[in-house]
Amino acid sequence: MEATDRLFYGLVGLASLAAIAACTWIGGGAGAAFGLFAVLVLAGSLTCIWERSVVRSAFCLIGTFGGTAGLFLMLGSDFLAMSQILIYVGGILALILFGVMLTPPDLTERKLPRVMAGLVAVGAGVAFVAAKVAATVHWVEAATLAEPQHETEQIGVAFLAYDQYMIAFELAAVVLTVALVAAVYVARRRKIDLEEEGAEG
Amino acid sequence: MGLGAYIAVSAALFALGIVAILVRRNILYVLMGIEMILNAANINFVAFNRFNGGGLEGRMFAIFVIILAAAEAAVALAIVLNVFHLFNSVKPAEADLLRE
């Protein structure tokens, strides 16, 4: 572990603690939970960008996806939180790790100046836009939030009711089938490749 | 926490996804950046849905985004494997067959 890495992780840890403390101070218990999940999301993606090894980056993404699931829970959407964990952590992350294992590691690819420049430039851009938005836009929020109830049942009914999302639901199934079959077709080793390798070996 | 806090988190996550795509020269990081960006969009959908009456529309949109992200990841991984097989490299800049 290099000195810059140590410095980076120290800074990320301190900033995370400060953010959680600030959220707790503002919002009490709910604020603490929000701060924890938000810190998971942001620190996960930050360390994903920073990490030298692709495997570690992929595992850092667990924080991002799990934190997003937590934010969905905070927003009263438990079905979405569960499907987020199932599909992202269980499916997409496993796919990415699969890809990582099938390609060679390249530990020299991360250039520190480029990472710093990217973070500073995009951070400045986001800060600028956020300041503009905070100054000019006033979100219209519902005065009282309705208690979320039986979300899974509602979603199931909406998926199967012919006047709501049935067409989209069936189309999504078709898209998934076609995409997965196509992925298998594209990723397969062609017979001619295998014969060439056999001739070489 | 109000709507603004969720929007802020999602904006930061979106920006980090852009950074991951721009800064790391590796197709797998491009994939991870795209997943971050989709997650940011999902947080926005669900947050707006929650703070704007709490119907089903925003959450439905988020579900379809997740479905399409799964399909996208599978196809993109197949393409990554093929690109690596063809060019012996995972750097997007080296996939330049059409230039020759």
Instruction: Check CB contact of B11 with chain A, cutoff 8 Å.
Output: yes
Of the candidates A91, A151, A184, the beta carbon closest to that of B70 is on: A91
CA-wise closest residue to A92 among A9, A159, A183, A18? A183
CB A79 within 8 A of CB A69: no
CA A190 from chain centre, in angstroms, equals 33
Mean pLDDT is lowest, of A101-105, A120-124, B72-76, B78-82, for A101-105
Cα angle B8, B13, B14; round to 5: 95
Query: Per-residue pLDDT tens for A19-30?
Result: 888 888 888 888
Q: Tell me which H or E stretch contains B32.
A: helix B27-51
Q: Identify the residue with better confidence: A29 or B1.
A: A29
How would DSSP label each residue in A58-71?
Answer: HHHHHHHHHHHHHH
The pLDDT score that the predictor gives to residue B43 is 93
Domain B3-89 in CATH 1.10.287.3510? The answer is yes
Nearest chain A Cα distance for residue B100, angstroms: 23
Nearest chain A Cα distance for residue B37, angstroms: 11
Cα angle A120, A122, A128; round to 5: 100
CA pair distance A39, A45, nearest whole angstrom: 10
Domain extent listing, chain B: 3-89
When the pLDDT of each residue in chain A is averaged and rounded to a whole number, the result is 84
Query: Per-residue pLDDT tens for B4-54?
Result: 888 889 999 999 999 888 888 888 888 899 999 999 999 999 988 888 776
CB A82 within 8 A of CB A152: no
CA pair distance A130, B8, nearest whole angstrom: 8
- Label residue A1 by pLDDT band (50, 70, 90): low
Residues B69, A68: C-beta atoms closer than 8 Å: no
Q: Which residues contact A137 (CB under 8 A, 6 or more apart)?
A: none
Interface of B with A in 53-92 (CB under 8 A): 53-54, 56, 59-60, 62-64, 66-75, 77-82, 84-85, 90-91
Please count the other Cβ atoms lying within 10 Å of the Cβ belonging to residue B63: 27
Report ipTM for this prediction.
0.89
The pLDDT score that the predictor gives to residue A92 is 87
CA pair distance A175, A172, nearest whole angstrom: 5
CA pair distance A75, A69, nearest whole angstrom: 10
CA-wise closest residue to A49 among B89, B49, B20? B20
Whole-model pTM?
0.88
CB A187 within 8 A of CB A180: no
